[in-house]
Each structure stands twice: as C-alpha cells, then as structure tokens.
Structure 1
Amino acid sequence: MSAGFQCKKFYVAHDRCAMKVGTDGLLLGAWAPVPAAGNILDIGSGSGLISLMLAQRSNGALPITAIELDPDAAEQACENVALSCWPDTIRLIKGDILTYQPGERYRLIVSNPPFFQQALGAKDAKRHQARHTDSLPFGALLQKAAELLHSEGVFALILPLSSAQSLLALAQAQGWFVPQYCAVRSNDTKPVQRVLLCLSRYPADTEYSSLTIRQSGHQSGHQADGGYSAQYKALLKDFYLKF
C-alpha cells in the first residue's frame, strides 16, 4: 500500500490515516468554490489533502483551519502541512467539530464526511470512525455547519448518491438551500455514484451540473493518463502529476 500521494506542488503522507487519499477528496478539493476573501474550515481533515489543495488554489492567501478527531491522522496532517509551501496558512486542530467553539465564522466550510449509516462496522476502529456517521451524524453536522458558516458562505461536501439524498432531506428541514449540485459518474455508461454539493443559508436556485471521471470504454491503467475524461483532467490538472 502506498505511503502517500504526490501532487504537483505537495506530498501527502497517509500511512497513519484511516482513510487514504482518494478520488472523493481530490474532487472536493478541486471543485469547492474558493472565496475571494475570508476564512476556510475543513471538517474531518484526515491527511490534510483538501486543506492543502485549497491553500494551493488560494495561493496561501486565505487562513484555513483543519479539524480532525483521530490523533494519528491529525499528527500526520500537521507534518504534511509543515513540509508544504503553506505551513503558516493551515492551522490543524486535533478535536471534535461538535464541541469546536471558534470566535469566527467561515466563508467556506468543506467536508468529506463519514457517510455509512446503519451499516456493518469496519473491523478497524479508526477506519470505522472515519467512514461511519456514529461520531458525526448528518443532522449534527448540518447544525454545526450552520452555526459556523458566514451568512454569505457556502458548505461544500462530497457524498455517495444515497447518502447525499439523506443529507439533503435533513438540510431542507433545517432551512438550507442548494446553490450547486454536481452529479459524478465514473464514466458515462454508469449511474451517478457521487454528488458534490454546495449548501448555503441564503436563498439560492440550484445550478445542476455533471462530471464524468473516465472516458467510455477506458479503464484505469490502459492509458498513460488512465483514460480520464477531458473534464476530469481540466479539474485536476493543477494537482495530478500525470495531467
């Protein structure tokens, strides 16, 4: 198993993290709308991947707070940040978002949250915590994000389709709006598997879009670039070495 993931401008070690660098985190880090000004909060930062991507996209100009419950992941994220180009941009906190009480509100909140509900637990306790909603139920996550979000800010997430549907039902009941909804397919012959979402507390009509990761008929490894679609390569070109 790989000890880490090399991006064009930074390296993410993840051997001590329950959840490794994957497509979901890369998608969210590249897709989430970076504000022109204000602070950013990364809920459940894991290895620090998304925070580092946002630091790169904002040229280190926006303060980023990353909070992670698992102590090993938090420590490794701290190390990844310290070795990056933006050691003073990202502040890592080892703690529980549900008890986090900052004196500020955030223009952008991002989260690649635990999403398994009522599922068989992972054998590894840390992996279970990272993947299952036991420690961070959707309703509690939405309430906390509402508490921490600037009135003009957005909350960006990535979830599997079924989990996104569950979260959106709760969000509607809590008075959230959905400015952006992006349906993600592995290729254009497959059903939607993931959803990228932007939520807001201000009224907004939903802008629907779609993203296809790979070209039809291609599977990973069959080409130098893995057969990725032009759309996906455009989104991740600043991060993937092969793009």
Structure 2
Amino acid sequence: MFRFKQFTVQQHRTAMKVCTDACVLGAYTHPATTQLRENPTLLDIGTGTGLLALMAAQNYPKAPRIDAVELDPDAFAQATDNVAASPFANRIRVHQTAIQHFRPDAPYDLILTNPPFFTNHLRSPNAATNRALHTDTLPFPDLVAAADRLLHPDGEWWVLLPPYEAGQLETLAQQANLWPFSRLSLRHNARKAPFRHITGYRRNPSAVQADTLTVYEPDPANPGRETYTLPFRQLLSPFYLIF
C-alpha cells in the first residue's frame, strides 16, 4: 500500500508497484508545465495500479474525461478498486483491453504512458510480471500507432522510459509526425547519469526544452547520508505525505 495526500494505492495484485519515476511523471505533467487548458481529456495507457490516472485526476480537477486502459486482469481489478476508493471515482473510467483495440469516441488532449520496455531481458516465471515489464503485448511501434490514433491534433503525449529506450521510441514517434518538445532527465544524485527520461511529444516539430531533476543530495544534518532535493520536494509535495 502507498498512501498519498488525497488517495491510496493498493498494489498487492499488480506486478508493477508504485515507484519514484512514475510519481515524477504524474506530478510533472501538471498545468504549470504544459500549455494545455485546465480541463483536458486524459488517457493513461497501461494504468497498472491506476496511479497516473489518479494523479491526473488530482492535477486536473476540471478534467471532463479520464480513461485508464489496462490489459492484465489482476491489474485492471486493482486499478478499479483503487479508483473506486478514491475521491475521483466518478471521474475516472478503467477499461480492460489492449490499447491496440481501444476505440474511444474522441481523441485525448493529454496521454500519459509508463510503458514496458524490456525486450530480451531475462524472463520472470510470473506471466503478469512479463506483461508489465516486456514489450511483447505493447511493442513500441504499436504504442506509437496508438498515440498517433488517440491524440488530439493539439494534444500532448508524455512517456517515461530509460534513456536508450527513449531514443528508440523517439525515432519511431518522429516517423509518425510526433515530435519531442520537452525532456526531463531524472537522476538519483548529481554523481549519477540519468536513469529515466520523461519526454513530451506534440504534432509539430519544435526545439526541445531540456531539464534535469535530481532526486537526492547530501544531507548536511547527517554526514554520509542523503536527503531529497528541494526541486523534488516541491514537485511531489502535492502528493507525498512526507513533504
């Protein structure tokens, strides 16, 4: 269980648990950092526990439509329960289907995606873990095709991936006329290389606004230990109970 300020995420039935990088994705795509209006329609592709959909519901209190799509039956049930127990139950709809088969009535202003990215990685004996981590059920070409089909002409698509995989996806996205305009590089501390990129895509090419978010810094009150950086605290303070 992971408790946030406005909702709780149960995760005992899902292969992918709440993690720092996914929380950063959910917090970073806030109206203060996008050019979208305050009440966009939203889609969470591969919702898992429902985390990104729930964070979006908090970020966009006037959003008229928030859809979350999940293929795995246990994760779908977990996300459904988490949404039902939240203050946003009447604003989020969870759909059990592959995104390749999802056919909504209208495109979305904002799409959030924390996709599987392992291809030849060692397999787990757990089928749900493989679905969550590996690209078998959602290969990058299918993901790009879905984003292209489901994104409003003026919308934004935000994706969380490791740096190498982010580069692979960017090449495919540009072939579909989806162009990066923003990139946040997430690193554990100032000595480490980035371990995740959060990339925003739009229909029209433009210069990429690049930024870096460092999670930890040396703790002056406890030599040899680390504490959260101020930018990280500020970004996650609307959600994390510890801030």
TM-score (norm 1): 0.92
Counterpart code for 1:50: L
In 2, Cα distance between the equivalents of 1:61 and 1:209? 27
Question: Secondary structure of the residue that 2:228 maps to in structure 1?
Answer: coil
In 2, Cα distance between the equivalents of 1:211 and 1:51? 22
In 1, Cα distance between the equivalents of 2:5 and 2:69? 24
Report whether the alignment pairs 1:7 with 2:4: yes
In 2, Cα distance between the equivalents of 1:216 and 1:97? 42
Counterpart code for 1:129: R
Moved more, 145-154 or 36-45: 36-45
1:145, distance to aligned residue in structure 2 (A):
0.5
1:205, distance to aligned residue in structure 2 (A):
1.9
TM-score (norm 2): 0.92
Question: Secondary structure of the residue that 1:103 maps to in structure 2?
Answer: coil
Report whether the alignment pairs 1:199 with 2:196: no
The percent of aligned pairs where both chains have the same amino acid is: 38
Report whether the alignment pairs 1:162 with 2:164: yes
1:60, distance to aligned residue in structure 2 (A):
5.0
Report whether the alignment pairs 1:27 with 2:29: no
Counterpart code for 2:168: S
**Which string of whole-angstrom CA distances, capped at 9 and with x for unpartnered residues, describes residues 85-128 of structure 1?**
11111000011101111120000000100011222222211001
Counterpart code for 1:203: P
Residue-pair matches, total: 235
In 2, Cα distance between the equivalents of 1:75 and 1:57? 23
1:156, distance to aligned residue in structure 2 (A):
0.4
Counterpart code for 1:30: A
Moved more, 233-242 or 61-70: 61-70
Question: Secondary structure of the residue that 1:215 maps to in structure 2?
Answer: strand
Moved more, 35-44 or 125-134: 35-44
1:202, distance to aligned residue in structure 2 (A):
2.2
Equivalences for residues 126-205 of structure 1 within 5 A: 126-205=128-207
Moved more, 25-34 or 72-81: 25-34
